[in-house]
């Protein structure tokens, strides 16, 4: 591995690392807690412009002796450095290896959905990050709680943790079709992983479908940039009234969320809960944009439709992928589904833990 030392940074394998960053992220036991990896020192306790006295690559590690008193040596696994480089640019805010898909893409790239008993978590988690959804096979109802809880605490809603779709007084508790939507738009915290589990599906109809909201937003932005800006810049209300619990949820947020760089980071869409209350002069233009975006979401070219069978569990990145279902007839047979939510942070943290473990084994050297 070629290492080139410059005045303010070192280049390793073509990637640049500032000395300030290396000193701040020193991995030894004097600077990091061995379990949590939390920093033990304040940034004010070291030179503002740290300087290396000696640098070399040895046995797959970058060794840096700092020009400080008392002396300090930092040892960085090269694999760790290359896994954390921001050169030439930081990681995408929407994840790694993201595929913006539509129906045609999935038909051209058919996916064999994994049997959860035979597949590796890291593999199917990459699929979830890539597509925004995944279908896992062979999860019996009696094992569902243990399966979900193995990733983190289940979000406890007013209806409990793992709910049947018959609970509550809303559209999901009926046999009516449900148009494309994200769940929990009526909560500020809708960045969740959603689990939709099929215990039994003997009713006729009731196809499930998913949509890549980020793909739709990309196309919508290219074709209707003015409408896109309206939906990204206009906060509106999302209502949910629950008389049985005496709740009236009404958060305010935009339908399309973007970061400072203009990247789409979340979609919040649910027509059944959307209640725009805007100044009179803004309302007509907003509805033009809103209706146009809704037509994109309802376009079958974006929808991937399938039938969940007993033991299937659909996992959804709820703030990216939208979902819905067609009408079903319960007189033909039983349709028994379960729904649960978990903060997306837990899923992402589990994936990064596995990736970090492969890169460094979380080793804190004792130097």
Distances (CA, A) of 258 to 71, 228, 274, 297, 344: 45, 11, 19, 18, 18
Helices and strands of the chain, counted as H and E runs: 9, 24
Q: What does the alpha-carbon distance between residue 118 and residue 317 come to, in Å, rounded to a whole number?
A: 23
The pLDDT score that the predictor gives to residue 245 is 76
Lowest mean pLDDT segment, chosen from 4-13, 34-43, 150-159, 353-362: 353-362
Sorting pLDDT into bands at 50, 70 and 90, what band is 46?
confident
Q: How many CB atoms lie within 10 A of CB 111?
A: 11
- 292 closest CA partner among 311, 269, 273: 269
Instruction: Output Rg (C-alpha) for the chain, integer angstroms.
Output: 25
Sorting pLDDT into bands at 50, 70 and 90, what band is 166?
low
Within 13 Å, how many C-alpha atoms sit on residue 333's CB side? Answer: 9
The better pLDDT of the pair 365, 62 is held by: 62
Whether 166 and 311 have beta carbons less than 8 Å apart is answered as: no
User: Which of 17-31, 80-94, 215-229, 343-357 ranks highest by mean pLDDT?
Assistant: 215-229
Task: Give me the percent of the chain exceeding a pLDDT of 70.
Answer: 92
Q: What does the alpha-carbon distance between residue 228 and residue 290 come to, in Å, rounded to a whole number?
A: 9
Instruction: Dump pLDDT digits (tens) for 136-150.
Output: 999 999 999 999 999
User: Which of 26-40, 143-157, 234-248, 344-358 ranks highest by mean pLDDT?
Assistant: 143-157
Whether 310 and 266 have beta carbons less than 8 Å apart is answered as: no
Q: What does the alpha-carbon distance between residue 340 and residue 155 come to, in Å, rounded to a whole number?
A: 7
DSSP codes of every residue in 51-112: -EEEEEEETTEEEEEES-SS-EEEEEEHHHHHHT--SS-PPPTT-SS-----HHHHHHS---
Whether 224 and 355 have beta carbons less than 8 Å apart is answered as: no
Rounded mean pLDDT of the chain?
87
- 313 closest CA partner among 126, 114, 175: 114
Q: What does the alpha-carbon distance between residue 253 and residue 295 come to, in Å, rounded to a whole number?
A: 21
Q: What DSSP character marks residue 351? A: H
**Would you say residue 179 has pLDDT above 60?**
yes
3-state secondary structure of 121: helix
Region of 63 please: left (phi>0), alpha (psi -120 to 50) or beta. Answer: beta
The better pLDDT of the pair 48, 11 is held by: 11
- 213 closest CA partner among 110, 276, 298: 298
The pLDDT score that the predictor gives to residue 93 is 54
264-267/208-212 β-pairing: unpaired
Sorting pLDDT into bands at 50, 70 and 90, what band is 160?
confident
Report the length, in residues, of the chain: 367
For the segment 208-213, the average pLDDT, to the nearest whole number, is 97
For the segment 291-296, the average pLDDT, to the nearest whole number, is 97
For the segment 272-294, the average pLDDT, to the nearest whole number, is 93
Q: Give the ranges where the chain is alpha helix by DSSP (H).
A: 19-24, 78-83, 103-108, 121-131, 141-149, 213-223, 225-233, 280-297, 344-360
pTM of the predicted model as reported, rounded to 2 decimal places:
0.84
The better pLDDT of the pair 100, 94 is held by: 100
Q: What does the alpha-carbon distance between residue 106 and residue 113 come to, in Å, rounded to a whole number?
A: 12
Sorting pLDDT into bands at 50, 70 and 90, what band is 82?
confident
Q: Integer distance in angstroms from the first to the last C-alpha of the chain?
A: 23
The pLDDT score that the predictor gives to residue 367 is 47
The better pLDDT of the pair 89, 236 is held by: 236
**Would you say residue 236 has pLDDT above 80?**
yes
Q: Which domains does the chain have, with CATH numbers?
A: 3-90 (3.30.2020.30), 103-352 (3.60.130.10)
What are the phi and psi torsion angles at 300 (to 5°)? -65, -20
CA 9 from centroid of its chain's CA atoms: 33
For the segment 47-55, the average pLDDT, to the nearest whole number, is 88
For the segment 205-210, the average pLDDT, to the nearest whole number, is 93
For the segment 113-119, the average pLDDT, to the nearest whole number, is 89
Whether 176 and 165 have beta carbons less than 8 Å apart is answered as: no
């Amino acid at each position: 591995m070629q290492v080139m030392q410059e005045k303010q940074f070192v280049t390793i394998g073509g990637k640049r690392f500032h000395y300030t960053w290396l000193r701040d992220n020193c991995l030894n036991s004097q600077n990091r807690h061995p379990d949590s990896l939390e920093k033990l020192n304040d940034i004010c306790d070291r030179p503002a412009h740290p300087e290396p006295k000696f640098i070399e690559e040895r046995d797959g590690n970058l060794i840096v002796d700092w020009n400080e008193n008392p002396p300090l040596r930092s040892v960085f696994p090269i694999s760790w450095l290359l896994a954390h480089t921001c050169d030439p640019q930081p990681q995408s805010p929407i994840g790694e290896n993201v595929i913006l898909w539509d129906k045609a893409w999935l038909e051209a790239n058919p996916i064999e959905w994994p049997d959860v008993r035979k597949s590796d978590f890291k593999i199917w988690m990459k699929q979830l990050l890539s597509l925004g959804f995944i279908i896992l096979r062979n999860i019996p109802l009696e094992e569902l709680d243990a399966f979900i809880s193995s990733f983190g605490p289940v979000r406890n809603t007013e209806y409990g943790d793992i709910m049947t779709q018959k609970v509550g007084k809303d559209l999901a508790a009926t046999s009516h079709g449900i148009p494309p939507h994200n769940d929990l738009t009526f909560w500020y915290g809708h960045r969740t992983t959603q689990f939709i589990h099929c215990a039994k599906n003997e009713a006729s109809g009731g196809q499930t479908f998913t949509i890549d909201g980020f793909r739709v937003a990309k196309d919508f932005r290219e074709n209707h940039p003015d409408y896109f800006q309206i939906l990204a810049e206009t906060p509106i209300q999302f209502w949910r009234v629950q008389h049985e619990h005496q709740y009236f949820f009404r958060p305010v947020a935009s339908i399309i969320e973007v970061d400072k760089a203009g990247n789409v980071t979340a979609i919040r869409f649910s027509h059944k809960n959307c209640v725009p209350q805007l100044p009179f002069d803004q309302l007509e233009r907003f509805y033009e944009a809103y209706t146009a975006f809704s037509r994109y979401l309802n376009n079958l070219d974006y929808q991937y439709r399938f039938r969940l069978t007993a033991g299937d569990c659909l996992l959804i990145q709820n703030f990216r992928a939208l979902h819905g279902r067609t009408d079903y007839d319960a007189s033909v047979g039983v349709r028994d589904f379960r729904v649960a939510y978990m903060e997306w942070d837990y899923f992402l943290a589990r994936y990064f833990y596995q990736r970090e473990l492969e890169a460094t084994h979380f080793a804190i050297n004792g130097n």
